[in-house]
Amino acid sequence: MKSSDSSRFSYSGEVARAPIFDSFRALEIDRVKTTTVLNKKGIELDGAEAIEDVWVNNNSSPEEVVEALVYEARRRDGPEINE
């Protein structure tokens, strides 16, 4: 079975439509790092109430936004600290 590029993205529609900062918490994404990563890609969070709004407001795609969030904004720069 051939997999498409979009099949590697598994996100819940509920997370995409939930309040944006709740989604960041659920996905363990840092708000400041997210803003930086998205801004470097020319994507703004301004006016976005949910992750879905980010790609809609920026004429982007769900894949581009989710990839930036999950694969770039979640990267840890140092040793992981268990609280």
Predicted pLDDT of residue 16: 82
Predicted pLDDT of residue 18: 86
Confidence label for 66 from pLDDT (cuts 50, 70 and 90): confident
> pLDDT, tens digit, for every residue of 28-60?
888 888 889 899 999 999 999 999 999 999 999
Q: Is residue 1 pLDDT above 60, yes or no?
A: no
* Cα torsion through 72, 55, 20, 27, rounded to 10: -30
Residue 21 identity (one-letter amino acid)? F
